[in-house]
Amino acid sequence: MRAVAEDMRRAGGGAIVNISSVGGLGGMPGAIAYGSTKWAVRGLTRSAAVELGPDGIRVNAVFPGPISTSMLPFPEDSFDYLPLARVGAPAEVAAVVLFLLSDESSFVTGAEYAVDGGLTGMMQAPTAPVRQSTTGSEARHGGSTAWPQRAAGVHADVSAR
């Protein structure tokens, strides 16, 4: 942003779209470093939107979920538990980015767009307090997780623990 902000000011404004991940919208077990960088993009986007808005520069962020690419080729049925029951395609992320860069979104800044087949709609905060004596993964996550579990297709019920 620093590299283009001054040129965009001179041009009378513009649009910036940051790409993050759904990891920046909720916690992910075993992904502290990854998740924290995605949350940083979220804060950067909001701060830049406030700072650059008076110069006519809009700043938004896109948070892709399971998108099948050559780098991460997901089997078609690997996310069948999502509300849209499939993985996404890069073109679907690109369409949202194109919208945010267009004049059609001229009153949109500081916004967050999840392109994730409904994954973030399934996220929830843990419903039970952290247990005092646990081991392994449950100790790290307080006996719960805010991330949907594939096996169950929904969140783990921790209220009975």
Instruction: Classify 154 in phi/psi space as left (phi over 0), alpha (psi -120 to 50) or beta.
Output: beta
d(CA 91, CA 98): 10
Cα 20 from Cα 82, distance rounded (Å) = 20
Residue 140 φ then ψ, to 5° = -70, -30
What is the pLDDT at residue 33?
A: 95
The model's pTM: 0.76
pLDDT single digits (tens) 62-98: 999 999 999 888 888 889 999 999 999 999 999 999 9
Q: Which two tokens stand for residue 152?
A: 């169950």
User: pLDDT tens-digit profile of 117-152?
Assistant: 999 998 865 555 555 544 544 444 444 344 444 433
pLDDT at 28: 83
Q: Tens of pLDDT along 12-21?
A: 999 999 999 9
- What is d(CA 5, CA 15) in angstroms, rounded to the nearest whole number? 10
Active centre residues (catalytic): 34
Domains and CATH numbers, the chain: 2-123 (3.40.50.720), 124-161 (no CATH)
